[in-house]
Amino acid sequence: MPTEKPRFCITVDENLLAQIDEHRFAKRYTSRSKATVNLIRLGLEALRTQEAEKDKAQK
């Protein structure tokens, strides 16, 4: 099924690929891409939370 969504490529080492695959199978994603997108979203959400907490602590 073709998609109109933007695409980009990344290169990861074997250890990181294994971690992505572990996440993929644990969460039953149908593809590495879907698992990777989820991990990116989780990471960005965690980063935003950390930054918000840091800003709050500085006030």
pLDDT-derived band at 18, boundaries 50, 70, 90: very high
pLDDT digits (tens, 9 = 90+) for 25-49: 999 999 999 999 999 999 999 999 9
pLDDT, residue 1, reads: 62
| Chain centroid, CA 32 distance in Å | 11
Average pLDDT of the chain?
Answer: 94
Q: Where are the domains of the chain?
A: 15-20+32-58
pLDDT, residue 27, reads: 96
The alpha helices in 1-59, defined as continuous H runs, are 14-26, 32-58
18 and 32 Cβ atoms separated by less than 8 Å:
no
Count Cα atoms within 13 angstroms, Cβ side, for 50: 6
**What angle, 0 to 180 degrees and rounded to 10, lies between the N-to-C axes of helices 14-26 and 32-58?**
100
pLDDT, residue 2, reads: 74
